[in-house]
Amino acid sequence: MPIPTAGPTVLIDGAAIARRIRAEVAADVAARFPDPDRAPTLATVLVGDDPASAVYIANKRRAVREAGLRDEHRALPATASQAQVAAVLDELAADPGVSGILLQLPIPAGLDAPSLIDRIPVGKDVDGLTTASAGLLARGEAGLRPCTPSGVIALLDAEGVPLAGASAVVVGRSELVGRPMAQLLLQRDATVTVAHSRTRDLAEVTRTADVLVVAAGRPGLIGAEHVRPGATVIDVGIHRTPSGLTGDVRRAEVDGIAGRITPVPGGVGPMTIAMLLVNTVRAADRAAPGR
Ligand code: NAP
């Protein structure tokens, strides 16, 4: 592989790529589901009144409707019991008119999230977070993949970043992002290293990366010393600050070193919703093959 050299850093326009994917989903749905009442359906479940979760759910539901998909929503109070949330998930699981189910996280303390998530049937698991979906991914078998890491792969593909044989470093090992990210990169034949809070010399590890995906949830963790000249840097982190949203990467420092970088906002964030729409259509297609 050629040794990358420093030059102007290209911004990866995640917002534009996500818009394109959403338009493709909308065109596909309009062509295949002329009756809107029979379009693939995403059921969202919101427990409690966390304001950030309410905004995320509203954005997802709007995107669903804009793509011509059907939007079903269940809201439960913060006082809902484990059995009440489970009953709602079970009802949606049994409903043949529901293609995908999304339980908005985090759920109120006192509820057991993993066991609630695992009530979602694998075929309707559009967030890809059930034990069954994680198992399919770990085994490299077909299934629905978590939206944020699959959005990162879609960004890398849209930019034509070669993955086979590339050195990829993922910072973070959460179930939601880091772990599935590493597995998706491995599936694409990258040589993958996963760094985390116990990694001894983070900069030494990240400097080996042709593709560096940062999902540590630590504002400004990654700076000039962490990035190999020419590397593609994907910043998954999102942090609300008084001056707006920022990521895990100190972008001003990395500009001129990285070959490509995702901005925050406008990078990975919009891709997560786009992939949720893709997963909802996939779930519907897998439930009724050959339709
Ligand atoms: P998380 O569950 O808190 O996991 C963070 C991971 O980063 C952990 O594995 C942790 O290591 C590792 N880490 C923490 N500090 C580190 C350090 N100093 N050096 C190296 N590794 C470190 O977070 P998450 O859910 O994966 O989310 C990560 C970030 O992505 C957050 O900012 C979140 O808001 C954002 N996010 C964005 C989107 C989007 O749509 N753009 C979607 C989801 C999440 P240990 O395992 O050792 O603790």
Per-residue model confidence as pLDDT tens digits over 68-97: 999 999 999 999 999 999 999 999 999 999
- Tell me which residue has its CA closest to atom 5 in ligand 1: 216
Query: Which residues in 112-147 are b (16+ Cβ under 10 Å) and which e?
Result: ebeebbbbbbbbbbbbbbbebbbebbeeeeebbbbb
Active site residues: 60, 104, 127
Q: Can you tell me which atom of ligand 1 is nearest the CA of 247?
A: 32
Whole-model pTM: value is 0.96
- pLDDT of 3 reads 47
- pLDDT of 6 reads 57
Provide the 8-state DSSP code for 107: P
Q: What is the DSSP string of 65-106?
A: HHTT-EEEEEEE-TT--HHHHHHHHHHHHH-TT--EEEE-SS
Task: Answer yes or no: are the C-beta atoms of 155 and 178 closer than 8 Å.
Answer: no
Tokens of residue 244, six digits: 């707006």
Q: Evaluate: CB of 106 within 6 angstroms of ligand 1.
A: no
Ligand 1 pocket test, candidate residues 147, 170, 177, 271, most atoms within 8 A of CB: 177
Q: Evaluate: CB of 176 within 6 angstroms of ligand 1.
A: yes
Residue 47 alpha carbon to ligand 1 centre in Å = 23
Average pLDDT over residues 195-200: 98
Band of residue 7 on the pLDDT scale cut at 50, 70, 90: confident
Q: Evaluate: CB of 287 within 6 angstroms of ligand 1.
A: no
Q: Evaluate: CB of 277 within 6 angstroms of ligand 1.
A: no
- pLDDT of 82 reads 98
Within 10 Å of residue 105's Cβ, how many Cβ atoms?
15
Q: Can you tell me which atom of ligand 1 is nearest the CA of 178?
A: 26
Q: What is the CA radius of gyration of the chain?
A: 19
The length of the chain is 291
- Tell me which residue has its CA closest to atom 34 in ligand 1: 238
> Which uninterrupted H or E stretch holds 192?
strand 191-195
Q: Which amino acid is at 193?
A: T
Tokens of residue 131, six digits: 């034990």
Q: Evaluate: CB of 174 within 6 angstroms of ligand 1.
A: yes
Q: How do residues 220-266 score in pLDDT, each as one tens digit? A: 999 999 999 999 999 999 999 999 999 999 999 999 999 999 999 99
- Tell me which residue has its CA closest to atom 19 in ligand 1: 197
Band of residue 288 on the pLDDT scale cut at 50, 70, 90: confident
Task: Answer yes or no: are the C-beta atoms of 280 and 251 closer than 8 Å.
Answer: no
- pLDDT of 290 reads 66
Q: Rounded distance, CA 276 to CA 272, Å?
A: 6
